[in-house]
Homo-oligomer: A and B are copies of this chain.
Amino acid sequence: MITASSNKTAPRRLRLGMVGGGKGAFIGAVHRLAARMDDRYELVAGALSSKPDIARASAQELFIDPDRSYDSFTEMAKREAARPDGMDVCAIVTPNHLHFPAAMAMLDAGIHVICDKPLCLDLAEAEKLAAKVAQTGLLFALTHNYTAYPMVREARDMVHGGKLGTIRLVQVEYPQGWMATRVEDTDNKQAHWRADPAQAGMGGALGDIGTHAHNLACFVSGLEPHELCADLSRMVEGRVLDDNVQILLRYKNGARGMLWASQVAIGHENGLRLRVYGDKGSLEWAQEHPNHLHFRPLAGQPRLLTRNGPGIGSAGLHGVRVPSGHPEGYLEGFANLYSDFADQLCARLNDTPPPAASLLVPGIAEGVKGMRFVEAVVASSQRGAVWTML
């Protein structure tokens, strides 16, 4: 029996499988590291590449038993489901177009899923997945990892606790510069598939980072826009998908917002930044300095909140590993999702209620919302950047 409350008394690690993430991949290694961080998982199986030799060599490097290195995710789903020590949960870390079939295969085999974002290629797929999750009752995590930084959790909690009053403005941006030239024509594997509609879906910067920005803004503000006006651009000659996204947002309560995501904003590395303004104060958080959160109260002095520092509440302390001033970063944030999801999984295995904090992990609902957002943005932009309901 696995005790849900904490890994401290868990008698075993959760058994993790992985689809994608073989040699040369980026996000797969991040998922593995995130899974390993708090020692809640062991990697036991993989369909790490669609090329069998790469799959096998990758598995060997990762100390995966050769018997559990598979040539396809369908095979893996079937065979792992049949094992008494089969994997508990499968991480899907392929390019976007494979999220849907891989996730469906796992769910059909009774295996819980951790899926990289964006959820899939379109809203139709998303709704099929949601229906499957509902029908199977399996657990599903979507790795919008930026929601799991402690100071993002603290920010969300402050908004929900009324520290900002009524929200008036949500300004979010996610500029990057790495695709300012035709990098997809080089041997950059990451750029290559992101620039290819067949693998990436209908959104370029939109799907890759715009969905992160949208998700983060909703997560912290507690608000979802109901209407948007979006202008998608292709700044680099010959590119098929958008590399720059500019959106005006309207919220039902009268709040307004702007979202900017770009892959051609030279000088930015991974510049996700969120500012939320209410009638009592504002918050600012930037991914590149994730241990800091700026709170600026109405008529008061701006305050710097630091991870694990003075005045941080339980929301912000959750998932913290080291003292204030010892910076945690991207991998720790990502790992928080894995560890929270481990809490969900252990609770399920033990038939106990999951701890509340673990339920903040984005799931299938956020995936559906993300796809709805992508479709609305594309529709708005294609019709000339007109207002479109979400």
Contacts and interface: CB of A to CB of B under 8 A. Distances in A.
Given A282-B267, A303-B301, A327 B325 contact: no
A301 B296 contact: no
Contacts of A304: 301-304
A229 B385 CA distance: 9
A277 interface: yes
Interface string A174-197: 001110110000000000000000
A264 B169 contact: yes
A270 interface: yes
Given A256-B233, A331-B321, A265 B169 contact: yes
A53 to B, nearest CB: 15
Question: How often does this chain occur in the complex, in copies?
Answer: 4
B61 A9 contact: yes
Contacts of A33: 37-38, 321
Nearest to A302: B304
A69 to B, nearest CB: 15
A267 B164 CA distance: 11
A208 interface: no
A328 interface: yes
A239 interface: no
Contacts of A278: 266
Contacts of A311: 300-301
Contact of A231 (B248, B322, B324, B330): B248
Interface residues of A, number: 91
A295 B262 CA distance: 18
A238 interface: no
Cβ-closest 6 pairs across A and B: A269-B325, A267-B296, A270-B325, A327-B329, A326-B330, A329-B329
A387 B387 contact: no
A250 interface: yes
A46 to B, nearest CB: 14
A386 interface: yes
Contacts of A110: none
A79 interface: no
Contacts of A387: 384-385
A168 interface: yes
Nearest to A145: B326
A281 interface: yes
A321 B30 CA distance: 8
A29 B248 CA distance: 38
A322 B326 contact: no
A277 B303 contact: no
A326 B386 contact: no
Nearest to A330: B326
Nearest to A303: B301
A304 B327 CA distance: 19
16 contacts: A13-B63, A36-B37, A169-B265, A231-B256, A233-B254, A235-B279, A258-B260, A262-B277, A267-B281, A269-B326, A270-B326, A287-B325, A322-B331, A327-B327, A327-B330, A328-B331
Nearest to A234: B254
A298 interface: yes
B267 A302 contact: yes
Contacts of A268: 296, 325
A5 interface: no
Nearest to A173: B171
Given A266-B277, A301-B304, A171 B271 contact: no
